[in-house]
Structure 1
Amino acid sequence: MENLKIEASERKINTKGDLKKLRLEGFLPGILYGDKEKNLPLAVKKILIKKMLESSNFMSSVIEMSIGGSKHKVLTKDINFHPLNNEPIHIDFQKIKPGTKVTVNIPVKFINNENCPGLKMGGVLNIVRRKIELRCAAENIPAEIVVDLANKEMNESIHISSVKLPDGAKPVISDRDFTIATIAAPTVVKEPEPAAAAAGDAAAGDAATTAEGGATAAGDAKPADGKTKPGETAKTPEAAKKPAAAAPADKKK
């Protein structure tokens, strides 16, 4: 892996006011943790760190740091970001020496997607791990872990044992052959068959017709409470009580 380079200066200021002024001047406060040496407060250009952060493997890259004429091999140990604008506000580095074993997260890269039978058949690449934590020598940190998808079939799983790692590098998870990705079958929502859909619509129509016919029959029947049916003239109580008028008697001649 090609080493990154960065220039830093020793930082003498530690108060909150001084650190705020340092940030306003475009610098980022940080600390270089030594192997056995004393920790060194330092300052680096913020714009340089932001540019390096665009690289997906920045946290696992060996950096050549220059401080006042002396050079050191370092790894980025931690970065703090502002909770509102997500701007970096502090950075820590760890000094390393040749042969030093370090633990780093390495990004996974998938290749030969176009030669994967499972994907050609409509399968989906289900990525379980986008980064893998490795324990390896500081001078032999890989830039990426390459996973070849050629000849991978539908429903096939890709485990860490099938991936070639650099000499001396071992995954931190060592108690199982964990999965990196799978070629999953596509998820399809089954549509109802035309015959079943037509039968359902016909049943719904018959039910509606039956309900309508029942309502009409109920309207034609005479209500049990004696109320007037539609079209009849209602009789008032007075008309019901008044006797019918007698026919006039014939006059004697």
Structure 2
Amino acid sequence: MRDATTIAAEARSRAGKGTARATRLKGRVPGVIYGEKQTPELISVDSRELLKELNKGNFFSRLFTVEFSGKAERVLARDVQLDPVSDRPIHVDFQRIGKGSRVRIFIPVHFTEQDQSPGIKKGGVLNIVRHEVEFFCQPESIPESISISLSGMEIGHSIHISAFELPGGVKPVIQDRDFTVATIAAPTKEDEKLVAAEAAAAAPAAAAAAAPAAGAKAADAKPAAKPAAKK
């Protein structure tokens, strides 16, 4: 589990494109806090601070405390709009998280000890079906990630959600089936055939390219004809 990250914000008095544009010119990103059946709050955050948090990763699975106007709101980030040219944030949405509430959130999946998997040592490939899994959990119990060791796993092994040890109160949204998260797959026959076909196709071209050079070398090596003797 991780502690909530604090973000300093400022209240905004008005919405609208003109006001938002003026906010961005000041180096800030306009945003809104909504949810918990309360009135939405218009805010702005420092663009550099927001970009720093985005670059840390797992932005949408981390708990934040947004401080502004002498109060603090516990929130989750739900949306960030990016500029299509600069790829910098231009708007951010936060959702209030009340005490005792349950959130629905995607959590990253990590795979450890890949070097101890006999299947991977034999040339098998870790085929990740779900890089993230959606869970129900309490805000205080949001894990940074879920992980599983690949030690001892052979080619053909399927890793289902039931194989993960989940923290208390963390349950997958999909509960009617034991879905697959990853498999250890053998290299496909198609890949092997493709490599062989490419090698076979390249061979005639290489031989054709080498032929003129070989002919030139042969001509250079051939002794010059002797002039005919005068009678």
TM-score over 0.5 for the pair: yes
Name 1:96's counterpart in structure 2.
97
Moved more, 81-90 or 24-33: 81-90
Residue 130 (structure 1) shift: 0.4
Name 1:239's counterpart in structure 2.
none
Return the letter of the residue paired with 1:82: D
Return the letter of the residue paired with 2:70: G
Deviations 1:51-102 (A, max 9, x none): 1111221111000111122122111011112233322111111111232100
Q: What does 1:1-253 align with in structure 2 at a 5 Å threshold? A: 1-188=2-189, 189=192, 191=196
* SS of equivalent to 1:63: strand
Root-mean-square deviation (CA, aligned residues, Å) is 1.7
Deviations 1:92-146 (A, max 9, x none): 1111123210011111111011111111111000111000111111111010011
Residue 49 (structure 1) shift: 1.1
* SS of equivalent to 2:108: strand
TM-score by length of 1: 0.72
Return the letter of the residue paired with 2:104: T
Partners of 1:13 and 1:37 lie apart in 2 by 17
Q: Which has the higher contact order (CA 8 A, sep 6+)?
A: 2
Partners of 2:129 and 2:175 lie apart in 1 by 17
TM-score by length of 2: 0.79
Unaligned runs of 5+ in 2: 201-231
Partners of 1:120 and 1:2 lie apart in 2 by 38
Partners of 2:56 and 2:107 lie apart in 1 by 12
Percent of counterpart pairs with the same letter? 42
Partners of 1:15 and 1:56 lie apart in 2 by 30
Unaligned runs of 5+ in 1: 198-253
Residue 186 (structure 1) shift: 1.5
* SS of equivalent to 2:55: coil
Return the letter of the residue paired with 2:65: E
Aligned length: 193
Equivalent pair of 1:99/1:139 in contact (CA under 8 Å): no
Name 1:209's counterpart in structure 2.
none
Partners of 1:160 and 1:54 lie apart in 2 by 28
Equivalent pair of 1:154/1:183 in contact (CA under 8 Å): yes
